Structure 1
Amino acid sequence: MSLMLYSNPMSRGRIARWMLEEVGQPYDVTYLDYGTGMKAADFLGVNPMGKVPTLVHDGVVVTEAAAICAYLADAFPDAGLAPPHGDPARAPYYRWMFFAAGPVEAAVTAKSLNLLPPADKGAMVGYGSFDGTIAALEKAVGAADPWLCGSQFTAADVYVGSQVNWGLMFKSMPASPVLQAYSERLIARPAYQRASALDDEAMQAKG
């Protein structure tokens, strides 16, 4: 069994690394530079988008951070990072992970780039409005007890939590008590702390 993560310590690859630490299986990391390593012909043969994170598991390629989280949860069920098939908790698991991968990321990115649509054009974008998207996120996180699937921490918390952590760090989301409390629970996890320390060390080594 081999797990190789192509990443950069200043990228969404940090999400995949956190997920790998939660899984608890041995893995390797290859760090790629933007514009050089990511656009090299050999890596483009793995991921034609030339982006990280990219995971290769026994020769199988998985890209996109949310997909990597969901894939790893299913590939290593003993880690308990996804509700079992048939469990009603599978619904919020999928719902909130892909809500964060779609509307949340799109709305936050649009706001950061001053590209939010006029109010009368909101129906043309998948998230509708930034305020509405954040309100829905806060409602989901506020109902977490303590996680999105109840008492079970899952890959959905890794992905949604990464969006929340970055949103608070870069001030692209409002620092509401609900989001802050969720973030505090997330960053207390040993796997999060291990992953962050490893990527921070790699970032410092790059200078």
Structure 2
Amino acid sequence: MTDSLILYSNPMSRGRIARWMLEEIGQPYEVRYLDYGAPMKAPEYLAINPMGKVPALVHGTRVVTEYAAICAYLADAFPEAGLAPEDRSAYYRWLFFGAGPFEATVIMKALAVEVPEERRGMVGFGALATTLDALETQLARTPYLAGESFSAADVATGSQIGWGLRFGTIEPRPALQAYWDRISARPALQRANDADNAAMPPKAG
């Protein structure tokens, strides 16, 4: 009997990335949705994730938080899914690029926070255009971030690209749009989105 996989999430969160990854590995799992506010700060959940946020993955007795870590963990825990390449150099690079400088600069853009040019060396990402240049350069070399095959890096960092394109926080450069069109057509993402969309709260009015 294998250990159970339980994802704590919210349909309006980065938990969508973790759910996509769970669909990619093809193993049974359970999703427990938490509302923002009191449910995420309840003692029972803080015992799982002291940050009081989602996503959090419980695999048997093991707990993994942070969406990029969940993607990397699942790729290693279920190697038969083929989502972690043997050569991990580009894989690690772009997996953590997405969770680090790229996400940070996209959030700064969404918050309309501008880092003065003379202080960009302090923030670790420089400018949004610099991060987009880096992604564009990589995707001009290979169809996926880690090389010729789809990997967990595409789930984690690709999701950030998709959200940026959807919400207008990154410019729709042709190479990035073509990449997102390619990976967003994956059946696993369609299944994950259908399930999370069904769990969205009804719109007022």
TM-score bracket, shorter-length normalisation: over 0.9
Letter in 1 for 2:105: A
Alpha carbons 2:98, 2:157 under 8 Å: kept: yes
What are the superposed Cα offsets for residues 47-96 of structure 1, whole Å, 9 maximum, x if unpaired? 00001000000110000000000000000000000012xx3xx1000000
Counterpart among 119, 122, 141 of residue 120 in structure 2: 122
Supply the distance in 1 between the matched residues of 2:52 and 2:197 (Cα, whole angstroms): 23
Letter in 1 for 2:187: P
Q: Which residue of 2 aligns with 1:51?
A: 53
Identity, % of aligned positions: 60
> 3-state SS of the aligned residue for 2:105?
helix
Supply the distance in 2 between the matched residues of 1:50 and 1:44 (Cα, whole angstroms): 6
Supply the distance in 2 between the matched residues of 1:55 and 1:141 (Cα, whole angstroms): 30
For structure 1, which segment, 32-41 or 12-21, has the greater mean C-alpha deviation from structure 2 after superposition?
32-41
Supply the distance in 1 between the matched residues of 2:128 and 2:146 (Cα, whole angstroms): 24
> How is 1:124-143 mapped onto 2 (pairs within 5 angstroms)?
124-143=122-141
What are the superposed Cα offsets for residues 94-133 of structure 1, whole Å, 9 maximum, x if unpaired? 0001011000011111121122210011111110122111
Number of equivalences: 202
Structure 1 pair 72/205, CA: closer, same or farther in 2 (3 Å)? Answer: farther
Supply the distance in 2 between the matched residues of 1:142 and 1:167 (Cα, whole angstroms): 19
Q: Which runs of 5+ in 2 are unaligned?
A: none
Alpha carbons 1:107, 1:116 under 8 Å: kept: no
1:102 to 2:100 alignment: yes
> 3-state SS of the aligned residue for 2:165?
helix
Supply the distance in 1 between the matched residues of 2:20 and 2:8 (Cα, whole angstroms): 13
Q: Which residue of 2 aligns with 1:21?
A: 23
Q: Which residue of 2 aligns with 1:162?
A: 159
Supply the distance in 2 between the matched residues of 1:161 and 1:133 (Cα, whole angstroms): 13
Letter in 2 for 1:63: T
Q: Which residue of 2 aligns with 1:83?
A: 85
What TM-score, normalized to structure 2? 0.95
CA RMSD after TM alignment: 1.3
Show structure 1 runs of 4+ deviating over 6 A. Answer: none
> 3-state SS of the aligned residue for 1:203?
coil
1:68 to 2:76 alignment: no
Alpha carbons 1:82, 1:155 under 8 Å: kept: yes
1:30 to 2:28 alignment: no
Supply the distance in 1 between the matched residues of 2:188 and 2:203 (Cα, whole angstroms): 23
Q: What is the Cα deviation at residue 205 of structure 1?
A: 6.2
Supply the distance in 2 between the matched residues of 1:206 and 1:17 (Cα, whole angstroms): 23
Alpha carbons 2:8, 2:34 under 8 Å: kept: yes
What are the superposed Cα offsets for residues 26-66 of structure 1, whole Å, 9 maximum, x if unpaired? 00000000002111110011100001000000110000000
Alpha carbons 2:94, 2:146 under 8 Å: kept: no
